[in-house]
Amino acid sequence: MDQIASSLTDWTLWEPDLRTTLIFVRRDDALLLIEKKTGLGQGKINGPGGKIETGETPAAGALRELREEVGLTAFEPQLAARLFFSDVEDLNILVYVFVTDQFDGEPQETIEAKPIWVDVKDVPYEKMWEDDQYWLPQVLNGESVDGYFQFSGERLVSFHVDPLGHGTPPKL
């Protein structure tokens, strides 16, 4: 399925209530994911990430969240996606997605997350946010994308994915 329904959101008027990050660490054909233990998405599988703090760049936020959630120090994160979410728990959320294969250490379980390595061919999309299946495969193939996702609670009701910077992005 490339897209579902037409969007209910006027993306040219959309503004984020919350700016967050995700970072996907690769080791050869393995991908670091986490089982989220607290907060938004608790119980789901995802990449490490979280809120960008005041005065922090998205890349710095992604690296900080990776350290806090699984104890890894990473380097040279590459922007792979910007994801625009409407109506996730009544919030508009902007997510900057980074990828890297440059890191030190081994992931450790924390109060926030349980780290798991998976083969990139075996990503457990059925345990992740519904939108992940529509953009993450492209990112794992080295593409960069903008994704626009309209939710109703935790249910995806419409979406479209464009090459990074080729759509009409909302106000950032």
pLDDT per position as a tens digit, 40-92: 889 999 999 999 999 999 999 999 999 999 999 999 999 999 999 998 777 89
Domains recognised in the chain with CATH numbers: 19-81+98-146 (3.90.79.10)
Mean pLDDT on 114-132 = 97
Q: 2 vs 134, which has greater pLDDT?
A: 134
Q: How far apart (Å, rounded) are the C-alpha atoms in residues 83 and 124? A: 20
Which of these ranges, 2-16, 32-46, 136-150, has the smallest mean pLDDT? 2-16
Given this model, what pLDDT does residue 152 score? 86
- With b for 16 or more beta-carbon neighbours within 10 A and e for fewer, the 120-156 pattern comes to eeebeeeebbbbbebbbebbbeeebbbbbbbbeeeeb
Given this model, what pLDDT does residue 90 score? 78
pTM summary value: 0.91
Task: Enter the DSSP assignment of 166.
Answer: S
pLDDT per position as a tens digit, 136-164: 999 999 999 999 999 887 789 999 999 88
